[in-house]
């Protein structure tokens, strides 16, 4: 490249960079109606499940078995996971009273349900479902 061609290319490059830099300094406008519009959150209610562990745990297994399908269908997987957690929390004291050895495994499987939903991993939901099914069978077989 000759000296004058190099200077011309440098001049064009500088002009382009100057134009880009100047456009970055353009004023910003805000739509004030967005900042002042009122939004209301949907009210949610939580029903605490009641019953014996023998009644609650099969419901937990059914919810867990359906979770992967809910996730794949892009349904309300968070609500399903919340129901699973609520069922476990309601049954946990009775399970702890008679089978403390199962608590850590139940807790880990319920945590896996939440992880499955948090990271949109239907495979983890299936794994948690199988684990919960085996744990419930172990508990109910006593």
Average pLDDT over residues 15-34: 58
pLDDT, residue 142, reads 78
Q: What percent of the chain has pLDDT over 90?
A: 65
DSSP secondary structure, 48-114, as one string: PP-S-HHHHHHHHHHHHHHHHHHHHTT--HHHHHHHHHHHHHHHHHHHHHH-GGGHHHHHHHHHHHH
pLDDT, residue 98, reads 95
pLDDT, residue 23, reads 56
CB within 8 A of 7, min separation 6: which ones?
A: none
pLDDT, residue 39, reads 47
Domain ranges of the chain: 3-30, 53-140
| pTM of the complete model beyond 0.85 | no
Q: Which residue has the tokens 């609500």?
A: 79
Which is more confident, 4 or 34?
4
**Number of C-beta neighbours around residue 113 at 10 A:** 28
């Amino acid at each position: 490249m000759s000296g004058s061609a190099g200077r011309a290319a440098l001049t064009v490059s500088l002009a382009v960079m100057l134009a880009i830099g100047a456009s970055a300094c353009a004023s910003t406008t805000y739509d004030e109606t967005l900042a002042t519009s009122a939004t209301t959150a949907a009210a949610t209610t939580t029903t605490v499940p009641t019953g014996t562990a023998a009644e609650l745990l099969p419901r937990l297994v059914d919810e867990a078995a359906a979770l992967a399908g809910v996730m794949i269908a892009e349904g309300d997987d968070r609500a399903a996971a919340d129901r699973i957690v609520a069922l476990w929390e309601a049954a946990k004291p009775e399970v702890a009273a008679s089978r403390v050895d199962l608590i850590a495994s139940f807790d880990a499987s319920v945590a896996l349900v939440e992880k499955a939903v948090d990271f949109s991993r239907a495979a983890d939901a299936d794994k948690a479902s199988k684990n919960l099914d085996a744990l419930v069978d172990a508990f109910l077989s006593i």
